[in-house]
Chain A
Amino acid sequence: MPETMAQLITLAPKDFRSEVKPTWCPGCGDFGVLSATYKALADLHLKREEVVVVSGIGCSSRFPYFLSTYGMHTLHGRALPVATGIKLTRPDLTVLAAGGDGDLFSIGAGHTPHAAARNIDICVLNMDNQTYGLTKAQASPTSLLGHKSKSTPYGVIAQPMNPVLLALAAGASFVARGYSARPKLLTDMIKAGITHKGFAFIHTQSPCVEFHNTFEYYDQRVEEVPADHNPRDLEAAMRLALHPDKFYVGIIYQNERPTFEITAHEFEQEVRPFDGAAYLSQFA
């Protein structure tokens, strides 16, 4: 048996499942993302201890507790900075960041473009349900114009954010879209996102069955990215993101470039231990 085969770890998707039972409502879109993640991690033959899942706050951000990997359940909006520190320290680890529309495009919206522009090798699982589920049904930055909620009883006045377009504009080197109700495609997207060397942003429509059930709405609009789409074409990718009616799923953009954590560790070819006396003598 070749050596690489001998080292290949084979775990079943269930091996990535922790004993903590998800707190989500029955039928929640996030279950689809979680199952797809278990499957993707198993398919990629990753070791549990070499995966770190980081999240912010919100329903979807309970994610790390449901995996038997390392994880951090941080602050609202702050998954990406924390994930950045992990990846910069340990480029060998597989780092996933999970967060909702509020996390990544409202309270933490200031971090998303910077993580994308740096092209740090993190795979972001954005579970977008267009509502604030954990606080019970207020409008979110991706709620559609006119959407009536408890916090917007007369309808949302702001234009919804377009996560895919924003990720593209910020310089994400991998942008894909998935849908909770299409688990196989979602698994493929997560596998592609983890395998991609660089910042991978996966936008998933993950409906909230309790407060904002959009399954029917998206069932009618979901369409796979056209077969002739060139994922290296940024303008074409933006056109897909801007389509007024269709919700394109699949790889929308992919174009690898050097990653931040690798470049940051290559400034100096030769790494030395710290010599305190030599360092201090520069002040003599």
Chain B
Amino acid sequence: MTTRSEIIMRLGGEGGEGVISAGDFFAQGSARTGYHLFTFRTYPAEIKGGHAWYQVRVGPNPVRSMGDGVDVLVAFNAEAYFNHKDTLNPDGVLIYDPDTVTPAGGHKTVYPIPFNKIAKDELNFFRGKNMVVTGAIAGLFGLEPSSLEGLIKQRFHRRPELLEQNLRALYNGYDFARKKLEKQDPFYLGEPATRVARLVLSGNDAIVAGALFAGCRYYAGYPITPASEILEGMAKELPKLGGVSLQAEDEIASIGSVIGASFAGAKAMTATSGPGLALMTEFLGYAGMSETPCVIVDAQRSGPSTGMPTKLEQGDLNHSLYAGHGDFPRAVIAPGSVGDCFFQIINAFNMAERYQLPVIFLSDQSLSHRTEAVTMPDLGKIKVTDRLQPSAADLKNSHFQRYRLTASGISPMSVPGTPGGMYVAPGLEHDELGHVDNPLESHLKMMPKRQAKVEACRQEASRDCCARYGDPDAKIGLIGWGSTEGAIQEAVDRARAAGHKVAALHPKVVYPLPFEEIQRFVDSVSHVIVPEVNFSGQFARYLRTEVDVHPIRVNKYAGLPFMPREIYRKIEEVANHA
């Protein structure tokens, strides 16, 4: 039997019984051993109860999506078994508690482990059930318990009694797997090819880190799933850096205070999800009109309305592109992976500051909460941009031209406290001084001035956003946006391995769209497939307005990310029809 060192493991159970922490421990332990990983979690909107599950894919080579199906299913209870048994691959492994469920049969490998009995009767520590499971999967799939011990010590170092109980549960589960089960499956991690130190972080962690690196020193937000961790991270970190984080009374106040902070000279950000972005809409127009830089993270979740707050959907593209009355400049950036969140949030700040406009950063639930192992970025190579300051000459005039007409549309922005730089940031149409008394005449000049910034922004986006992935002479092209990047790339890899000529394009700046580059890509292939996690194909429709293209849509709206095979099947279908 050939050993397989890439494993997709799913753990399911009742919310609150430690399903997610068991998965997390296994994932962290693997990462510390040098494996690549990609986790995905979903849990009920309720705090306790309801069905929760966690998936981790680990392997010695980079993993960029949640993968296809499940190799190992760990069912904490009967519901988990029945909910997930059909995702188990034909050669998969089922781990279950014989006291809670009797499997239907037909599974290649089964390992019954009485987690509940072990925790309750042998350990007299029922809450340690998840640690018994952690130990057992470590034992079965070749993870050294010492790599987990350090993590458990970190978690419980303040509570020695709990630490001791948890360690006992871990080793009990480990020993059970080693001594009482006979290994019958090929999945085994063992020693990785290379041991490289990697960072294991979530998209929300990466957004906080990137924002701080970009110079963000003011944050305001209102708690909302799945963006709350950004508020919590900023609240913890900003005071150390001389910045401020405000938990505002609502999302309108959040973005309002962010715009105020930016006017006062700070790089400023807020984060929310769809419902909060809806509330912020009026302020987007004010930021655009008054040319005040700001960054708005929208961690998209499944809508409409309250929708499915803990589930994934790429459903806010239309809102981000078009929200607001009147025409005003903005940028919309969508990161492709957890690591990309770090780089793209810096890009978002750079664009906001350089072009003095609101930038919407379209993350989503899967990026927010999944973790990936990423290599330490080369921080010295990352550029950070600041807004254009007035020169001494600009401030000498008795009337500061905050909205001076320039070719690029960018005018110098003074900071309160600067003598000679006084102006009023207007929501009304205004002239170069910010005066509002000749709106009609001003409108004719200022509308093109503001929109010129969008074109400048598009030029920049065109320069560095569109790396083509796959065959240079592809017949089939895929165009995606946001968190689907990894699944698309893995589907391309598989299609190429199967002999198809395929390439993918994944613009990170989705507005202003680098349409010339995209048109070139479209013209270079015979068929274009646009996969996205929403019902109506928002990006595909948007592409048709900007580019001459007739995309074949692949849409998923099941609250979950794409598996690569769902995209691959469409590639095959198109290839076979061609």
Instruction: Tell me the A residues contacting B by CB distance below 8 Å.
Output: 20, 47-50, 52, 54, 57, 64-65, 68-75, 78, 80-86, 88-90, 92-93, 110-111, 114, 261, 264-265, 267-268, 271-274, 276-277, 279-281, 283-284
Contacts and interface: CB of A to CB of B under 8 A. Distances in A.
Q: Which of B260, B264, B376 has its CB near the most chain A CB atoms (within 10 A)?
A: B260
Contacts of B244: 88-89, 261, 264-265
A74 B435 contact: no
Nearest to B371: A283
Given A88-B246, A276-B209, A280-B199, A20 B435 contact: yes
A74 B240 contact: no
B58 interface: no
A64 B249 CA distance: 25
A277 B212 CA distance: 12
B241 A72 contact: no
B424 interface: yes
Contact of A268 (B240, B248, B290): B240
Contacts of B260: 54, 72, 81-86, 89
Interface stretch (B413-421, B477-485, B548-556): B413-421
A123 to B, nearest CB: 15
A110 B422 CA distance: 30
A70 B435 contact: no
A152 B240 CA distance: 53
Given A72-B260, A73-B424, A277-B376, A49 B266 contact: no
Interface stretch (B67-75, B251-259, B353-361): B251-259
A20 B209 contact: no
Given A70-B416, A72-B290, A90-B265, A81 B257 contact: yes
B423 interface: yes
Contact of B259 (A82, A267, A284): A82
B422 A68 contact: yes
B376 A89 contact: no
Interface in B412-450: 416-428, 435-437
A174 B329 CA distance: 40
B213 A114 contact: no
A75 B256 contact: yes
Contact of B264 (A52, A64, A283): A52
B54 to A, nearest CB: 19
Contact of B256 (A52, A78, A284): A78
B377 interface: yes
B265 A272 contact: no
B424 A93 contact: no
Given A283-B201, A284-B197, A264 B257 contact: no
Nearest to B266: A89
A49 B199 contact: no
Given A64-B424, A65-B435, A72-B263, A279 B209 contact: yes
A241 B111 CA distance: 74
B377 A280 contact: yes
Contacts of A271: 240-242
A78 B199 contact: no
Nearest to B235: A267
Contacts of A72: 260, 263, 290, 424-425
A50 B439 CA distance: 28
B257 A93 contact: no
A272 B240 contact: yes
B261 interface: yes
Interface in B256-285: 256-266, 268, 282-283
B533 interface: no
A11 B442 CA distance: 32
B197 to A, nearest CB: 5
B435 A78 contact: no
A65 B435 CA distance: 8
Given A114-B249, A268-B240, A273-B241, A93 B256 contact: no
A92 B253 contact: no
B458 to A, nearest CB: 28
A68 B398 CA distance: 11
Q: Which of B215, B252, B258 has its CB near the most chain A CB atoms (within 10 A)?
A: B252
A79 to B, nearest CB: 9
A111 B427 contact: no
Given A86-B264, A111-B249, A264-B239, 16 more contacts: A49-B416, A49-B419, A50-B416, A70-B423, A72-B263, A74-B256, A75-B256, A83-B260, A88-B257, A89-B268, A90-B265, A114-B253, A271-B240, A276-B379, A281-B376, A284-B376
Contact of B417 (A20, A92, A265): A92
A89 B264 contact: yes
B25 interface: no
Contacts of B376: 277, 280-281, 284
Nearest to B250: A110
Interface in B446-504: none
Contacts of A75: 256, 282-283, 286, 427
Given A72-B424, A85-B256, A85-B264, A52 B416 contact: yes
A93 B264 CA distance: 9
25 contacts: A20-B436, A50-B417, A68-B422, A70-B423, A71-B424, A78-B252, A84-B260, A85-B257, A86-B260, A86-B416, A89-B217, A89-B244, A89-B264, A89-B265, A264-B246, A271-B242, A274-B241, A276-B209, A276-B213, A280-B209, A281-B199, A281-B376, A283-B199, A283-B205, A284-B197
A82 B253 CA distance: 7
Interface in B163-191: none
B220 interface: yes
Nearest to A111: B253
B218 interface: yes
Q: Which of B209, B265, B290 has its CB near the most chain A CB atoms (within 10 A)?
A: B209
A62 to B, nearest CB: 9
A82 B220 CA distance: 11
A73 B426 contact: yes
A283 B199 CA distance: 5
Nearest to A85: B260
A93 B426 CA distance: 20
A65 B428 CA distance: 11
A268 B197 CA distance: 31
A81 B253 contact: yes
B213 to A, nearest CB: 5
